[in-house]
Chain A
Amino acid sequence: MTQDVINAVGRETVSAPSLGTRILTHHLLWPAVAFVVLIVACGVFSPGFLDITIRDGHLFGQLIDILRASATPLLLALGMCLVIASGGIDLSVGAVMAMSLAISLTFLKGSASANSVPTALVAIGLGLLIGLAVGLFNGTMVSVLKIQPFIATMIIMVAGRGIAMLMTKGQITTVYAAPFKAIGSGFFLGLPIPVVIAAVVTVLVLVVVRKTALGTLLESIGINRQAAHLAGVPAGAIILLVYGLCGLLAGLAGMVYGAPTMAADANNIGLMKELDAILCVVIGGTSLAGGKFYLSGTVIGALVLSTLERAVIIFRFPSQTTPLFKAVVVIVICVAQSRTLRERIARRSLRVQAAKGEVTR
């Protein structure tokens, strides 16, 4: 009913885009299409794919596995999305994952009561703390010293794994501690705890960013930091904040990712994860140039990425070919969203219309 009215008005005032155009140009369209296509294709190819069963009160199934696998990239990507919105980038998150896991497991190994809940909480606190510390270091480099984000965060990316190795003294630290392990492999209300953590963090970030002015201020910084600063936006403080948050979430992601195996392998934990996180953000429609950002798109991006990884296995491709499919998805989505391409198509259709007009006249 209302839509009809809008359409009727739209037809008269020309400038308002129709519903179809709005859907076609919506930022969530292409990632959502990719996600649905992947899920449907998997469901058709492997009939049991969409089943969810309940065992011992816990949910099991391929879809739950996908949710669980997307928890880590999502935690990284949420922080990354805010950093990218500010016009920056954070390459250090993979190394931060290794550092947080290294410090928490080393602490657990050294403590006498590794199986008690308070000890596990302290270990988690340490991991979060080191993430926050690295994030604030990055933030200081970017906001106070005004060093390019790429290179500022690359320092920790290079040195971070070395520091993690120093913590574990070059060993792969393994330890058994049930409460700590639970954050990676436990269940809460039937859902895997990583999924619960990711969901809670997503809601928290969404509320903080979108229900306060923070999101808008962040976008203004990403579009033009100088202008934002002149308009009274505390640009430096907000940039420091988003890098700190990104580091904090990376620390959390490291522990969630490493808890099921309880082994701190500083060389391999979180390797190339920063690139996955950036991919999630980009697939979600956020431009690396900064400014406008889409947290909902980022969530879908993380889901697309982990569904893709699962789909490669379901379609019985060798799992090493996953990068190839990632590349195809990124290229297709980026080209589809490319503003240059859209402008070119729009110009061509205008030209075609003009030509037709000439003919009829």
Chain B
Amino acid sequence: MRTRAARFTRILSRLTDRRFLPVLGTLLTLVIMLILGQIFFSTRRGGFISMPLFSNLLVDNSYLLLLAVGMTFVILTGGIDLSVGAVVALVGLVIARLLTSGVPLIPTLILAVLIGTSCGVLIGVMVQVFGIQPFIASLAVMFLARGLANIVSVISIGITIPANGRTDLYPGQAQFAALASWSIKFGEGRGIWRITAPMIIAFTVITIAFLVLHYTRFGRTVYGLGQGDGGTAVQRMGLRPDISKITVYAVSGTCAGIAGLLFALYTRSGYCLSGLGMELDAIAAVVIGGTLLAGGSGFVLGSVCGVFVYGLIQVLNARWGLQSWWAKVFIGAVLLVFVLLQRALTIQRTRRKQAALVMADAIDPEFR
């Protein structure tokens, strides 16, 4: 009996660990928003909180989930990646262009993801080898990707099942259209909800990202790089800060590549102006999800929660019948609240750190 109570308190104290506080804040916001929705928008035929709601949230935000996951890696190291929105546009257009000119599906998808990876590697090399700030390096790649996307095509390219029925000439196009409309259906009538291919891809990537970040040497290095000492601590631990820094941007680029694929599946087309400002949506979601922009503290699952808050704001906004620009104002307000909250937490943390250093000095003056 006593041990059970002890175990319970231990779990509780782990959950309310200071590190998890920002994410708990995000979760709380999510719950409050869901309750608000349940109170105001439940009809006699069904509650607001329902499987279709979550299913639609995932369908509408799967690409943002991917971007937020990749961005989390970069931000954890104290960097930033502004190129992801442009990469989404570039990848979408390349997919559309290749498929409509008869290239099979699998090579196209592999190439698409590799384009994302190489954009990321380019940023990583500029940051690590040439010492250019991540902001400027990724800004340059953002312009590069936008420019390349405009070269591929300035008009929207639709990916549909060929109208003349020549699926033999355009096998990839037909397969892509099939993939986009593929889903497993559950429920009936108004309660119908589905699992689509983008959801499965997003879940897989989130799981891999979670495991990599928390259970591998690379993941440790990512957190270590965010400590703001230029990777010295990580190097002394025998980890590889230089390679890891490039890898982090490669991860973000790859995620952006996959996000481009998901966005193409979502819109069933490629367009050079898609993804405009999407990098900021991703950064906002990561920050709302409790990751510190200074680096070193944050979680993949927090970012996932952040994306849900982001998506839910838009859903509630639409249900309330307000114009879409109100959503921007609300997102700005939520961002403000979370930033202030994070600030309050970091002040506490630095105080504790200073206290700890004073203690360490008192015990062992040679410590530093």
Which residues of A lie under 8 Å from residue B328 when comparing CB positions? 158-159, 161-162, 165
B133-A324 in contact (CB<8A): no
B154-A335 in contact (CB<8A): no
Set A154, A165, A275: member contacting B284, Cβ < 8 A:
A154
Query: A338 CA to B325 CA in the complex, in Å?
Result: 41
A334-B147 in contact (CB<8A): no
B272-A320 in contact (CB<8A): yes
A155-B325 in contact (CB<8A): no
B150-A335 in contact (CB<8A): no
A188 CB-CB contact with B under 8 Å: no
Query: A170 CA to B331 CA in the complex, in Å?
Result: 18
Contact A154-B283, Cβ < 8 Å, known A148-B294, A165-B325, A331-B126: yes
CB under 8 Å from chain B, chain A span 324-342:
324-328, 330-331, 334-335, 338-341
CB under 8 Å from chain A, chain B span 124-154:
126, 129-133, 135-137, 139-144, 146-148, 150-151, 154
**Proximity bits, B143-176, A CB within 8 Å = 1, else 0:** 1101110110010000000000000000000000
Query: A331 CA to B136 CA in the complex, in Å?
Result: 9
Which residues of B lie under 8 Å from residue A327 when comparing CB positions? 140-144, 147
A330-B143 in contact (CB<8A): yes
A89-B135 in contact (CB<8A): yes
A323-B129 in contact (CB<8A): no
A154-B335 in contact (CB<8A): yes
Residue of A nearest to B332 (CB): A159
Residue of A nearest to B133 (CB): A288
A152 CB-CB contact with B under 8 Å: yes
Interface size on B, residues (CB 8 A): 45
Q: Which of B41-49, B251-259, B336-344, B359-367 lines the interface with chain A?
A: B336-344
Q: How far is the CB of A88 from chain B (nearest CB, A)?
A: 12
Contact A323-B135, Cβ < 8 Å, known A147-B343, A158-B331, A335-B130: no
CB under 8 Å from chain B, chain A span 292-342:
318, 320-328, 330-331, 334-335, 338-341
Q: How far is the CB of A138 from chain B (nearest CB, A)?
A: 12
CB under 8 Å from chain A, chain B span 201-249:
none
Query: A307 CA to B126 CA in the complex, in Å?
Result: 26
B140-A331 in contact (CB<8A): yes
Which residues of A lie under 8 Å from residue B335 when comparing CB positions? 151, 154-155, 158-159
A289-B139 in contact (CB<8A): no
Q: How far is the CB of A209 from chain B (nearest CB, A)?
A: 23
CB under 8 Å from chain B, chain A span 226-250:
none
Query: A331 CA to B323 CA in the complex, in Å?
Result: 40
Which residues of B lie under 8 Å from residue A279 when comparing CB positions? 139
A340-B131 in contact (CB<8A): yes
Residue of B nearest to A164 (CB): B325
Which residues of B lie under 8 Å from residue A141 when comparing CB positions? 339
A166-B339 in contact (CB<8A): no
A197 CB-CB contact with B under 8 Å: no
A323-B332 in contact (CB<8A): no
A151-B333 in contact (CB<8A): no
B147-A151 in contact (CB<8A): no
Which residues of A lie under 8 Å from residue B140 when comparing CB positions? 327, 330-331, 334
Which residues of A lie under 8 Å from residue B141 when comparing CB positions? 327
Main secondary structure of the interface of A (DSSP, over half): helix
**Proximity bits, B268-310, A CB within 8 Å = 1, else 0:** 0000100010001001100100000110000000000000000
Set A166, A322, A331: member contacting B325, Cβ < 8 A:
A166
Query: A287 CA to B331 CA in the complex, in Å?
Result: 31
Which residues of B lie under 8 Å from residue A289 when comparing CB positions? 133
Contact A334-B126, Cβ < 8 Å, known A289-B133, A320-B272: yes
Which residues of A lie under 8 Å from residue B320 when comparing CB positions? none
Which residues of B lie under 8 Å from residue A148 when comparing CB positions? 293-294
Query: A230 CA to B129 CA in the complex, in Å?
Result: 35
A146 CB-CB contact with B under 8 Å: yes
A324-B147 in contact (CB<8A): yes
Contact A330-B139, Cβ < 8 Å, known A145-B340, A158-B328, A162-B327: yes
B329 CB-CB contact with A under 8 Å: yes
B8 CB-CB contact with A under 8 Å: no
Set B131, B150, B327: member contacting A320, Cβ < 8 A:
B150
Nearest 8 Cβ contacts at the A-B interface: A159-B332, A324-B147, A162-B328, A340-B131, A320-B150, A165-B325, A327-B144, A327-B143
Subset of 29 A-B contacts with CB under 8 Å: A141-B339, A145-B340, A146-B343, A148-B294, A150-B80, A151-B287, A152-B339, A156-B332, A157-B280, A159-B332, A161-B325, A162-B328, A165-B325, A166-B329, A170-B325, A271-B276, A275-B82, A318-B154, A320-B151, A321-B150, A327-B141, A327-B143, A327-B147, A334-B132, A334-B137, A338-B130, A339-B131, A340-B131, A341-B130
Task: Please give the residue numbers on chain A whose beta carbons come within 8 Å of chain B beta carbons, in ascending order.
Answer: 89, 141, 145-148, 150-152, 154-163, 165-166, 170, 266, 271, 275, 278-279, 282, 287-289, 318, 320-328, 330-331, 334-335, 338-341
